[in-house]
Amino acid sequence: MGQRVRNEVVHTGGGRRTLIEEMLATSSSLAQLVVDGVLPVYIYKVLVKWPMEGGNKIVDDAATTGNAFQNPALLNALQDKLGSLVGRPSGYLDSLPPDVKRRMNALKNLQDKHTKIEAEFREEVLALEKKYLLKYQPLYDQRSEIITGTVEPSDEQCERAPDSDDEEDEEDKKESEEKTEKEAEKSTIEPSGLKGIPEFWLTAFKNHPQIAEMITEKDEEVLKSLQDIKVSYLNDNPGFKLEFVFGENEYFTDSVLTKTYFLENSPDAAYGDVMYDHASGSDIHWKEGKDLSVTVEVKKQRHKGTNKVRVVKKTVPAETFFHFFNPPKAPEEDEDADDEELDDLDQKLEADYEIGETIKEKLIPRAIDWFTGKALEYEDEDYEDEEGMDGWYPGDDDEDDDEDGSEAEDDEGPGGANAVASTEKPPECKQQ
């Protein structure tokens, strides 16, 4: 199932009028809209005949009273109806004479040639990105050594003039430089005992609004051990792979977790977009009682007849950043899914790709700016809550666990190391 990857999302302000409101703002009735040339006749005919209870009455009342713009029922009804007409042919193209349609075929042939050239352009851009990643990589390796404390940078490497955007007048700058010189003469920097730059990637993540929303308090303990993030391109696909390098931690045994995005660069991917195919992530090997992707719910059940109490433990999905490595999956061809489920899946797929692209294009190249927060100054994107981020983490509604005539007494408990094995089989969590 292909998902088009969009680089930008267009937001409309809450104060803007809908299409229907704009139309009705210039006229007092539907009939007048047709006369004014604002409302096509074929849409008018559909609106006054739509099979909706009370629909005809709403339209007739508004058309005769002249208060269409003040009629909320009409506004809502028209908006819903016109929304269902989006994409339907108006009949205009079919009405064009043969010689005009002949010219349209010529334009379509030109567009086909343009699409082929566009595919070549994307291939060359990808080759250029691969070429320059090889040039960037030595810098990334040095950065990783400094972050982890493997290498202590030299005085020459650490010497840096004040940033050009620091707001200081000349007198303050001169005074600061003199003070720095005197302090350098008197003493050298005393070691703090800390190794490298602690919590570097966790801090960078938390400074990015979208990624910060994915991180829970428990996640932070694991992400403190994140030492590096690497990106590489695939050999037989225009996609890319992210590698998250972890130091030893108390949560899982893996030293590297990966997330791979497979894309399509075909002539069908028009308008400069790349088609998202699918993603796969590492299977995380959690240590006993440390799986952050689930929570163990403890319930006590008392039998009505014998009055005996039994303890039932049920494993349910929990919110965690590490669901990132278990991406949403499109249904198989033989699986049935309604439009609402497909729309929800599309939103999740787009949100998942957006996070991966953000790490690749922003976090990795400008990691120090995200660590310090400087990158936020140059962000033009609006990070309001997006549809599709809600429901990002998988989870099921609570179900009634009463069985065999038992009465349940709820008692919640974390999925810690001391948790008793569940008498119910936990939901299977498949990861690629």
pTM of this prediction? Answer: 0.64
> Within 13 Å and on the Cβ side, how many CA atoms surround 367?
22
Give the C-alpha separation, 56 to 30, whole Å: 12
Q: Please report which confidence band the pLDDT of residue 15 belongs to, taking 50, 70 and 90 as the band edges.
A: very low
Closest Cα to residue 415, out of 248, 302, 289, 251?
289
pLDDT tens-digit series, residues 41-59:
555 555 555 444 444 444 4
Domains identified in the chain and CATH numbers:
19-94 (no CATH), 200-410 (3.30.1120.90)
pLDDT tens-digit series, residues 107-163:
999 999 998 898 889 889 999 999 999 999 999 999 999 999 999 999 899 988 876
CA dihedral 14, 18, 21, 22 (to 10 degrees): 100
pLDDT at 363: 97
Bridge partner residues of 312 (DSSP):
299
Give the C-alpha separation, 205 to 225, whole Å: 13
Closest Cα to residue 261, out of 177, 337, 350?
350
pLDDT tens-digit series, residues 167-213:
555 666 666 666 666 555 545 677 888 999 999 999 999 999 999 99
| Percent above pLDDT 70 for the chain | 57
Closest Cα to residue 79, out of 137, 41, 22?
22
